[in-house]
């Protein structure tokens, strides 16, 4: 297990270093090419001893090789934005293998279930929010009604008390 881990770690480290070196050489060679083109000279070799990059060549490509990606990567004119690349479908073509078909069917069913569950949860939360707001409105109305009833009872009781005291005062004065 440790040998496999060491091998994987070494491979990953080598790939990282190699990629960084290729990109660094490519960037340096492109800068040298642009500087030489401005001076009117043709670059022959980069100072590090690596061959100079041809204009339009990808990093890690030999100088004599040409790529077919030049038309798709044409620079945009000043002030005009390039359109976004078309999204690529990441699905594999249908396989005749029954296990692959089952896996794809399960993935589709899981995606459908997740979307149905998400929409059901959204509906439930909307209904819950609406019920909560109705409940709050009812509670608020009940508090207002209770306060009004209490004030009415208090004023009625005060009226009765003042009427009784008036009768008592009237009875004593006669």
Provide the pLDDT for residue 30: 61
> Based on the domain organization, do 48 and 107 belong to the same domain?
no
Digit-by-digit pLDDT tens for the chain (174 residues) are 677 777 777 777 777 767 766 666 765 556 555 555 555 554 454 445 555 555 555 555 555 555 555 455 555 556 676 767 776 766 656 788 999 999 999 999 999 999 999 999 999 999 999 999 999 999 999 999 999 999 999 999 998 888 777 677 766 654
Note whether residue 69 is domain-resident: no
How many separate domains does the chain show?
Answer: 2
* CA-based nearest residue to 61, from 16, 17, 13, 22: 22
Note whether residue 78 is domain-resident: no
**Domain membership of residue 142 as a residue range:** 96-174
Note whether residue 71 is domain-resident: no
> Based on the domain organization, do 105 and 174 belong to the same domain?
yes
Note whether residue 160 is domain-resident: yes
């Amino acid at each position: 297990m440790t040998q496999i881990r060491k091998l994987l770690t070494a491979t990953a480290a080598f790939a990282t270093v190699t990629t960084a070196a290729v990109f660094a050489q490519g960037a340096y060679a492109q800068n040298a090419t642009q500087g030489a083109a401005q001076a009117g000279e043709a670059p022959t070799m980069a100072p590090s001893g690596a061959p100079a990059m041809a204009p339009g060549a990808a990093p890690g490509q030999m100088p004599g090789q040409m790529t077919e990606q030049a038309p798709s990567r044409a620079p945009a004119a000043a002030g005009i934005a390039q359109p976004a690349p078309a999204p690529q479908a990441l699905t594999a073509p249908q396989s005749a293998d029954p296990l692959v078909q089952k896996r794809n069917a399960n993935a589709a069913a899981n995606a459908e279930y997740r979307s149905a569950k998400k929409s059901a949860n959204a509906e439930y939360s909307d209904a819950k929010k609406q019920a909560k707001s109705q409940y709050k409105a009812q509670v608020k109305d009940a508090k207002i009604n209770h306060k009004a009833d209490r004030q009415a009872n208090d004023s009625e009781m005060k009226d009765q008390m003042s009427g009784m005291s008036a009768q008592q005062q009237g009875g004593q004065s006669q």
